[in-house]
Structure 1
Amino acid sequence: MTLSPDEFRKRIRTGMHTGPTSGFCNGFVQANLAILPKEDAFEFLLFCQRNPKACPVIDVTDIGSPVPKLSASGADIRTDLPKYRVYRNGELVDEPSDLMDYWQENLVAFLIGCSFTFEEALIRNGIPMRHNEEGVNVPMYRTSLETVPAGKFSGPTVVSMRPIRNEDVVRAVQVTSRFPSVHGAPVHIGKPEEIGIRNLSRPDYGDSVTVRDGETPVFWACGVTPQAVAMHTKPGLMITHAPGHMFVTDLKTERLGVI
């Protein structure tokens, strides 16, 4: 079933879709979410500016507004993602299906580019996505790659991993490098232990996938990084998407690609 972003968001809003969003609304940009009180918003925006691979900003809402005017003017951040995470002082306290009980008039929402967006381009180039084949969420890992601090915000970079056939690795780099607004080229290829990942079968977020003979694990910076940052720096409040449960914008993927 082919749905427009607006139709897909309506299904989420009414509880008809509650799972991960990978593979839906091909051709449209998906985004990670981070919501903070206005007193923390500038430092977080600076953090994103200093860490564009992990946190490429797609849109920022006005203070107190749940509407992402530049990326989906008819949407509501409070209801249009399948699942959210609420962190207080670095602790995960809830995973609600909407934010109506948590929204405050001093909150600012950041939409951050998501690697689900470039998966369509990889598939068009004959590079399959194992997590889609196996019907699970993409595996994500905290790494030993430190982000560049900004004010109170710092912590480890989170990466997503996709097994790529050895002969396709160069092409995967070429394809994804065209999409810097959704994490761009990989940050690491092969040898997960070199970036502090001890066991590929035990991701910190998402689900494990099969890595077959003749394949190389390839790692991209991930928009779940703010969740690791929240646990590390412990802001009073940070609300995020649940990993893999993204916001689907009205922006066409082709608008973010570079030649």
Structure 2
Amino acid sequence: MSSNAELTPVKAREMIRENQWLKPTSGLANGFIQGNLAVLPKDLAFEFLLFCQRNPKACPIIDVTEPGSGIPALSAPNADLRTDIPKYRIYRNGEFTEERTDISDLWDKDMVGFLIGCSFTFEEALLKNGIPIRHIEESCNVPMYKTNIPCVEAGRFSGPTVVSMRPMPEKDVVRAVQVTSRFPSVHGAPIHIGNPETIGIKDIHNPDFGDSVTIKDGEVPVFWACGVTPQAVAMHIKPDIMITHAPGHMFITDLKNEQFSIL
């Protein structure tokens, strides 16, 4: 296991805060829950929380901050969501406007931060079961796609489910379902296996987010609900401002993966 995988969450966040790690966080500080970020003004926070509650596969809530606070008190009380993610994305009126490494100046007294479970959490379990993870092998970001699967609406929030994809040999698919089913708080079992066109993906080699990966002969694409879904929703409902992590660039919590697994 590499030294980056063995980093503590505190050390990993320190590297991120000091801009020493600007890459996707898959494989960083293995064994600890990683989270997707969504930041919204307080007047949208309840509706978004309801949206997550109604769409637990795509948006499993790990933590929510107090309005105006960047501190995730339950998952990493000594961290700061404004500085401890490698890259953030800023959406204004539903349009992606910029990417940056620090959002302190944008986080005012009305901002509420949501940490949403991330599929990177169960990747360690897949690897331990001998199931290959192509985007780690190829040192790139996981491919992610908008689908034709609608989310359950809540207030002003609606839009398509986003999925992440991991190709694997057919013989590994059943085991992958079993392994990831143990982690319902971080997307759980796949929501689709096989033909991407069934869920509205026209070109599997052209993801909407992340990077394309090699799919070898005899391999099957396996799709999990993805915490990038709020970004697709932001594009759909166009709030004045919404801040998210850049796809693949997660927040590393102090919570251990096994705390979120079931037997």
TM-score normalised per structure 2: 0.98
Segment of structure 1 superposing worse, 174-183 or 94-103: 94-103
Q: Unaligned regions of 5+ residues in structure 2, if any?
A: none
Question: 2:142 is matched with which residue: 138, 141, 156?
Answer: 138
Q: Between the two proteins, what is the percent identity of the paired residues?
A: 68
Q: Does 1:126 align with 2:139?
A: no
Q: Does 1:18 align with 2:22?
A: yes
Inter-partner Cα distance in structure 2 for 1:66 and 1:100? 9
Shift of 1:128: 1.2
Inter-partner Cα distance in structure 1 for 2:227 and 2:72? 17
Partner of 1:187: 191
Letter of the 2:72 counterpart? P
Partner of 2:98: 94
Inter-partner Cα distance in structure 2 for 1:74 and 1:36? 22
Inter-partner Cα distance in structure 1 for 2:101 and 2:259? 30
Q: Unaligned regions of 5+ residues in structure 1, if any?
A: none
Shift of 1:101: 2.1
Shift of 1:169: 0.2
- Can you list the C-alpha shifts for 1:24-78, whole angstroms capped at 9, x where unaligned? 1111000000000010000000000000000000000011110000000000000
* Residues paired across the two proteins, number: 259
Partner of 2:166: 162
Shift of 1:80: 0.1
Question: 1:114 is matched with which residue: 90, 99, 118?
Answer: 118
Shift of 1:119: 0.1
Partner of 1:73: 77
Find the residue that maps to 2:105 and give its secondary structure. coil
Shift of 1:94: 1.2
Partner of 1:51: 55
Inter-partner Cα distance in structure 1 for 2:127 and 2:214? 18
Shift of 1:214: 1.2
TM-score normalised per structure 1: 0.99
Partner of 1:103: 107
Partner of 1:62: 66
Q: Which runs of 4+ in 1 moved over 4 A?
A: none
Partner of 2:219: 215
